Amino acid sequence: VYRLHGRYHEMAPNVVPMDYTKDPDVKLPMQLIINMPELKENPFKERIVESFSEDGEGSLSFNDFVDMFSVLSEMAPRELKAIYAFKIYDFNTDNFICKADLEKTLNKLTREELTAEEITLVCEKVIEEADMDGDGKLGFADFENMISKAPDFLRYCFNCV
């Protein structure tokens, strides 16, 4: 935590106080956070920060910051990771991963190198594969079910610290 706070402080030394006795209501804007080396190259960095920020706007208080790092750490339980992964991929925060979300994910992932048809095809396939209640979008149950079967989800994905 100390180290984390050190880093938190580092990012904006003039904004973040070292003691929280007086001015406890400090938040860092997204721009600062996503420039951290851990997140800098991540295509979902904005989403990550947003889904961890309490106000949904992308500014992180230190609590959110700690949350983020603990969820992204190696030791975080799979379920927790799944929850946050779901939140990250759920771009419009409607608690479903719908086609629009998938398209955004794809575009971010591939840096918009795929053609429109390819994207729609992939989205359709994803939904076809993982959607189990047949509502045309992925709920959290679908997502978790799918992700828990992925062999390398825990190993590679989502470990940042």
Q: Which of residues 19-78 bind other proteins (CB under 8 A)?
A: 19-21, 24-25, 37-38, 40-44, 54, 61-63, 66-67, 69-70, 72-73, 75
Euclidean distance between CA atoms 119 and 147, whole angstroms: 21
Q: Could you tell me the smallest distance in angstroms from the CB atom of residue 33 to other proteins?
A: 15
Q: Is 120 in the site for other proteins (CB under 8 A)?
A: no
Q: Could you tell me the smallest distance in angstroms from the CB atom of residue 66 to other proteins?
A: 7
Within residues 88-107, the interface with other proteins by CB under 8 A covers: 89, 95-96, 102, 105-106
- With respect to other proteins, which residue has the nearer C-beta, 14 or 152? 152
Q: Could you tell me the smallest distance in angstroms from the CB atom of residue 11 to other proteins?
A: 16
Burial label, 138 (beta-carbon count in 10 A; 0-12, 13-18, 19+): buried
Q: Which helix (H) or strand (E) holds 65?
A: helix 62-72
- With respect to other proteins, which residue has the nearer C-beta, 15 or 130? 130
Written as six digits, the tokens of 136 are 């045309």
Between helix 62-72 and helix 78-89 the angle, nearest 10°, is: 120
Within residues 123-152, the interface with other proteins by CB under 8 A covers: 125-126, 129-130, 132-135, 139-147, 149-152
| CA proximity to 66, closest of 158, 3, 9, 4 | 4
Q: Could you tell me the smallest distance in angstroms from the CB atom of residue 112 to other proteins?
A: 10
Task: Yes or no: say if 14 and 26 are a contact pair by the CB < 8 Å rule.
Answer: no
